[in-house]
Amino acid sequence: MQRNDTRFSEFLLLGLSEDPELQTLFFWLFLSIYLVTIFGNLLIILAIISDSHLHTPMYFFLSNLSLCDICFSSTTVPKMLVNIQTERRVITYAGCLTQMYLFVLFGGLEDFLLAAMAYDRFVAICHPLQYSVIMNPQICVLLVLGSWIMSVLNSVLQSSMVLQLSFCTHMEISHFFCELNQMIQLACSDTFINVIVMYFAAGVLGGCPLVGILFSYSKIVSSIRAISSVLGKYKAFSNCASHLLVVSLFYCASIGVYLSSAVSHNTHSVAPASVMYTVVTPMLNPFIYSLRNKDIKGALNKFFGWKI
């Protein structure tokens, strides 16, 4: 019996559509979204670095989230744009594994960073007098470093387990990037252990940050309700409104995609739905955090010498 050799395997990314007219539309649409994502998040990072008033835990986490969004979007969009432009949808086994590794890494990192930001808002609103003591620079660095370590370990584990699988010489992926679940489904060898590890890791590393976020906001809501003045409630809520909106977009989109795919078993419907949390959400984050944030807008005005 001839053994499949993954070293010479190639995958075919089917993308979002095969219609030539839609392909042209998708190219310019996703190129525009990608450029806005890169420049928008870079502006957030530059504003935070350049203004000493923004060297606080909240903006430290925000700068790391912006960096994560740049990397997260760069993992999938450039390859999709190249495929559309060259009309070639082939990706090598090594390229597919690298893309999957980076996607799992930065997707997990975003989970942990959003949880760290929720904890920061919880301390700021529920324990304001102890904020500078609890959220000291060492704790902030440890939270970010721990997020990176956990994300890298999970990504290495998932990728190493995919390396043990055998694939056919030419496989079609009903997606615009190499997604972990679809790669496991396309394997020719037994994938039982891979599925168990994938869902266990998703439950622990995805569920724990979500539980932490929900717990933080339950305490925040209780604290806001205890505030007597309407102005005080508004100020407290405005401090976490942007983060809450980002969390809602990311988790609702990602959970909705995987729950719908698990129920319907329709892999072709996953790709369009995945655009929301892989492409659109990283673009929206800079707008959400900057449009209503006077500190960010003031830092950008100072950085570019604008007088607004």
Each residue's pLDDT tens digit, 85-94? 888 888 888 8
pLDDT, the chain, mean: 85
User: How do residues 122-131 score in pLDDT, each as one tens digit?
Assistant: 999 999 899 9
Token pair listed for 77: 């969009």
Q: What is the mean predicted confidence (pLDDT) over 276-291?
A: 84
Helix%, strand%, coil% for the chain, nearest 5: 80, 5, 15
Residue 174 neighbours by CB distance under 10 Å = 18
Sorted by sequence, the CB contacts under 8 Å of residue 184 that are 6+ apart come out as 162, 165, 191, 194, 195, 198
Q: Which residue's structure tokens are 């055998």?
A: 166
Element (H, E) at 224: helix 207-226
The average pLDDT across 195-214 equals 89
Average of pLDDT values for 245-263? 74
- Whether 258 has a pLDDT exceeding 80, the answer reads no
Q: What is the pLDDT of residue 69?
A: 94
How confident is the model at residue 205, as a pLDDT?
86
133-160 pLDDT tens trace? 999 999 999 999 999 999 999 999 999 9
Q: What is the pLDDT of residue 4?
A: 44
> How many angstroms separate the Cα of 31 from the Cα of each of 37, 278, 283?
10, 14, 12
Q: Is 173 helix (H, G, I), strand (E, B) or coil?
A: strand
> What structural domains does the chain harbor?
8-304 (1.20.1070.10)
- 243 three-class SS: helix
